[in-house]
Amino acid sequence: MKIVHLTPGTGNFHCGSCLRDNHLVKALRRLGHEVTMVPLYLPLVTDDAPASGGAAVQVGGINLYLRQKVWLLRWLPRFLFRFLDAPGVLRAAADRASMTSARELGEMTVETLRGPQGRQAEDWQRLVDWIGAEGKPDLISLSNGLLNGLAPAIRQTLGVPVLCSLQGEDSFLDTLPEPYRTQAWEAFRANNSSVGCYLATSEYYRGEMERRLGLGAGRVVAVRNGMDFAGYGVAARGPEVPTIGYLARLCRGKGLATLVEAFVVLAGRMPEARLAIGGTSTAADAGFIAAQKERLERAGLGGRVSWQENLSFAEKISHLQSLSVLSVPATYGEAFGLYVIEALACGVPVVEPDHAGLAEVVKATGGGVLCAPDDVGALAEALELLLRDEPRRQALGERGRAAVLAEFNADRMARDFAAVAAGLCGG
More confident residue, 54 or 201: 201
The tens digit of pLDDT for each residue in 304-343 reads 999 999 999 999 999 999 999 999 999 999 999 999 999 9
Interatomic CA distance for residues 349 and 368, integer angstroms: 5
Across 5-9, 44-48, 123-127, 181-185, which has the greatest mean pLDDT? Answer: 181-185
**Section 144-154 average pLDDT:** 96
pLDDT for res 85: 53
**Section 99-125 average pLDDT:** 82
pLDDT for res 99: 40
Give the start-to-end residue ranges of the domains of the chain.
2-228+410-425, 243-407
Interatomic CA distance for residues 126 and 121, integer angstroms: 9
**Section 225-232 average pLDDT:** 96
**Section 48-74 average pLDDT:** 67
CATH superfamily, domain at 243-407: Glycogen Phosphorylase B; (3.40.50.2000)
Confidence of residue 427 (pLDDT cuts 50, 70, 90): low
Yes or no: is domain 2-228+410-425 CATH 3.40.50.2000? yes
Report the predicted TM-score, pTM, of the whole model to 2 decimal places: 0.91
The tens digit of pLDDT for each residue in 156-176 reads 999 999 999 999 999 999 999
pLDDT for res 10: 62
Nearest of 131, 139, 21, 28 to residue 421 by alpha carbon: 139
Asked whether residue 67 carries a pLDDT value surpassing 80, the answer given is no
Q: Across the strands, what pairs with 275?
A: 244, 305
What is the number of alpha carbons within 13 Å of residue 113 lying toward its C-beta? Answer: 24
The tens digit of pLDDT for each residue in 173-227 reads 999 999 999 999 999 999 999 999 999 999 999 999 999 999 988 899 999 999 9
Amino acid of residue 228:
D
The tens digit of pLDDT for each residue in 352-391 reads 999 999 999 999 999 999 999 999 999 999 999 999 999 9
Phi, then psi, of 5 in degrees rounded to 5: -110, 120
Q: Using CA atoms in the order 241, 246, 252, 254, what is the torsion angle rounded to 10 degrees?
A: -140
Strand boundaries in 22-157, DSSP class E? 34-41, 58-60, 139-142
Strand order in the sheet with 368-371: 305-309, 274-279, 243-247, 325-326, 350-353, 368-371
CATH topology of 2-228+410-425 equal to that of 243-407? yes
